[in-house]
C-alpha cells in the first residue's frame, strides 16, 4: 500500500471527527525536502484552527505508525478554491462547475482550457468551452482544477 493510502486510512476518521473532509493526501519531494500534506475541506471553508487541530491529532499517530522512512515535513492545508479534481466522486460532485483542463499536448493551440464540467464517465471528461462541447480521454488530461470566476 502506498504511503498516501496508509496515511489516508488512519487520518480520515480523525479529520471527520473534527467536522472536516479529507480531500487529498500527497507525499512529494520539493528540492531536497519531502513533504506529507493532508488537504482538508468543510462547508463554509477551512481555517487555521481546523488545520492546527487536525495536525495536532494526526502527528502522534504518524509517529506511532511511522509510514515514512527518513525525514519529512508534515502539513495540513485547505483544499483551496481552485483544488485539483482527481477521483470520480470529485468530478460527480462538481458537475456544472467552472474548471480548467490542463492537457499534455495542445489542442487547437491551447494546453489550458477554461470550461464548464458537463460529464465524467470512466475517465472521459466532457466539457463545454464557449459554445463547443469537447470530450477528452483520460490519457490527454494532465490535470483538472476548479476555476474561480469573479
- In the chain, the N- to C-terminal Cα span, in Å, equals 41
71 lies in the same domain as 100: no
Domain boundary among 58, 78, 98: 78
Residue 116 in any domain: the answer is: yes
Is 79 in contact with 41 (CB distance < 8 Å)?
yes
Question: Does 22 fall in a domain?
Answer: yes
Residue 56 belongs to domain with CATH number = 3.30.300.70
Of the candidates 70, 68, 41, 73, the one whose C-alpha atom is nearest the C-alpha of residue 54 is 41
Q: Are residues 15 and 39 in the same domain?
A: yes
Q: b/e per residue, 88-105, with b = 16+ CB within 10 A?
A: eebbeebeeebbebeeee
CATH code of the domain covering residue 115: 2.30.30.100
- Per the structure, the count of domains in the chain is 2
Half-sphere exposure of 25 (CA within 13 A, CB side): 18
Quick one: 15 and 71 in the same domain?
yes
Residue with cell string 458537475: 95
My answer on whether 64 and 106 are in the same domain is: no
Which domain, by its residues, includes 115?
Answer: 88-146
pLDDT digits (tens, 9 = 90+) for 74-118: 999 999 999 999 999 999 999 999 999 999 999 989 999 999 999
93 plus 141 within the same structural domain: yes
The answer to whether residues 74 and 101 belong to one domain is: no
Task: State pTM to two decimals.
Answer: 0.82
Structural domain includes residue 135: yes
Is the CA virtual torsion 90, 94, 98, 104 positive or negative?
Answer: positive
Whether residue 83 is contained in a domain is answered as no
In terms of domains, do 68 and 112 share one? no
Tell me: the pLDDT tens digits for 11-60?
999 999 999 999 999 999 999 999 999 999 999 999 999 999 999 999 99
Confidence of residue 1 (pLDDT cuts 50, 70, 90): confident
Q: Is 48 helix (H, G, I), strand (E, B) or coil?
A: helix
Amino acid at each position: 500500500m502506498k504511503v498516501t493510502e496508509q496515511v489516508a486510512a488512519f487520518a480520515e476518521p480523525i479529520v471527520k471527527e473534527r467536522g472536516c473532509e479529507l480531500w487529498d493526501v500527497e507525499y512529494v519531494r520539493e528540492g531536497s525536502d519531502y513533504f506529507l500534506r493532508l488537504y482538508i475541506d468543510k462547508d463554509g471553508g477551512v481555517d487555521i484552527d481546523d488545520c492546527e487541530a487536525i495536525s495536532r491529532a494526526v502527528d502522534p499517530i504518524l509517529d506511532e505508525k511511522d509510514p515514512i522512512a527518513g525525514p519529512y515535513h508534515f502539513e495540513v492545508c485547505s483544499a483551496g478554491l481552485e483544488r485539483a479534481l482527481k477521483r470520480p466522486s470529485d468530478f460527480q460532485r462538481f458537475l456544472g462547475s467552472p474548471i480548467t483542463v490542463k492537457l499534455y499536448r495542445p489542442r487547437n493551440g491551447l494546453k489550458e482550457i477554461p470550461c464548464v464540467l458537463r460529464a465524467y464517465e470512466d475517465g472521459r471528461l466532457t466539457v463545454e468551452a464557449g459554445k463547443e462541447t469537447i470530450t477528452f480521454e483520460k490519457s490527454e488530461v494532465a490535470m483538472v482544477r476548479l476555476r474561480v470566476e469573479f
